[in-house]
Amino acid sequence: MAKRIDVKDLDIYYGDFLAVKGVNMVIEPRAVTALIGPSGCGKSTFLRTLNRMHEVIPGARVSGEVRVDDQDLYAPGVDPVGVRRRVGMVFQRPNPFPTMSIYDNVVAGVKLNSTRMKKSEMDDLVEGSLKGANLWKEVKDRLDKPGSGLSGGQQQRLCIARTIAVKPDVVLMDEPCSALDPISTLAIEDLINELKSDYTIVIVTHNMQQAARVSDMTGFFNLKATGEPGHLVEYDDTQKIFSNPGQKATEDYISGRFG
């Protein structure tokens, strides 16, 4: 079930370095939220705080709140692994497990969570997840073949199938199309639009046209100067951001005057 995300006064640190400062935003369920901005402004760092993936870097920490519905993801006693089950991540480059079959790639997360299922239930999960990722028709006759043998776009959809197989509440995507050709990019964009009816989706993208095409809300991150922390400049309806932004920095970035 899709969940609302509330971010309040979020500061993100790596050791003593403040990487992102003072983020406040509400990410609505069953919608696509795009995060845009120049390289190094902290948008991917912010994205990783939404499922505590940034904590794999030693010294990473946050202050402030990230709530998925009523649960504070950073409250004492909250298990980061449990958070990552609820908030899935699709990375920039497709990363299917190279020694695993397509079938085993889809169920890898389920098995990692020690979920006990009958073979028939597992078969149904694989079919449903691959259908959800618009990949079933292309691979149904070769489920025992390595996932690494698929094309780049198919591999990314396989990773999306693996993500939704564990039934998360939120799906995060960090530049999911940057390594793909235009046809594969279109397939992923179509899939994002289909998935938003069931999930809360947040994507980071450098492609302004992609953000305008697929998102309902857009947040623009920026730096005041080199070495300064990134911050959220503006967050609003995507159509407004791209047609009538409230901040000059947003307009300058979208129009290509910098970034």
Read off the pLDDT of residues 162-197 as tens digits, 9 standing for 90 and up. Answer: 999 999 999 999 999 988 889 889 999 999 999 999
Q: What is the DSSP string of 117-162?
A: --HHHHHHHHHHHHHHTT-HHHHTT-TTSBGGGS-HHHHHHHHHHH
State the fold for domain 5-94+168-254. Rossmann fold (3.40.50)
Residues 196-234, buried b or exposed e (16+ Cβ, 10 A)?
bebbbbbbbbebbebbbbbbebbbbbbbeeeeebbbbbb
- The two three-digit tokens of residue 17, written as one number: 């370095």
Segment 198-220, tens digit of pLDDT: 999 999 999 999 999 999 999 99
Q: What are the residues facing 12 on neighbouring strands?
A: 20, 62
pTM: 0.92
Neighbours of 149 (CB within 10 A): 14
Could you tell me which residue, 85 or 114, shows the higher pLDDT? 85
pLDDT of residue 232: 97
- pLDDT, averaged across the chain: 93
Mean pLDDT of 115-142: 92
Q: How confident is the model at residue 118 (pLDDT cuts 50, 70, 90)?
A: confident
Segment 28-56, tens digit of pLDDT: 999 999 999 999 999 999 999 999 999 98
Nearest to 217 by CA among 4, 24, 32: 32
* Site of tokens 């993936």: 53
Contact 33, 218 (CB under 8 A): yes
In this structure, what DSSP letter does residue 194 have? H
Please give the Cα distance from 6 to 4 (Å, whole number). 7
Amino acid of residue 88: G
Nearest to 202 by CA among 32, 5, 88: 32
Please give the Cα distance from 103 to 98 (Å, whole number). 12
Q: Does 100 have pLDDT greater than 90?
A: yes
Helix or strand or coil: residue 166? coil
Please give the Cα distance from 41 to 207 (Å, whole number). 15
In 3-state terms the chain splits into helix, strand, coil percentages (rounded to 5) of 40, 25, 35
Q: For the chain, how many helices (H) and strands (E)?
A: 10, 10
pLDDT of residue 114: 65
Q: How far is CA 251 from the centre of its chain?
A: 25
Nearest to 199 by CA among 170, 172, 165: 170
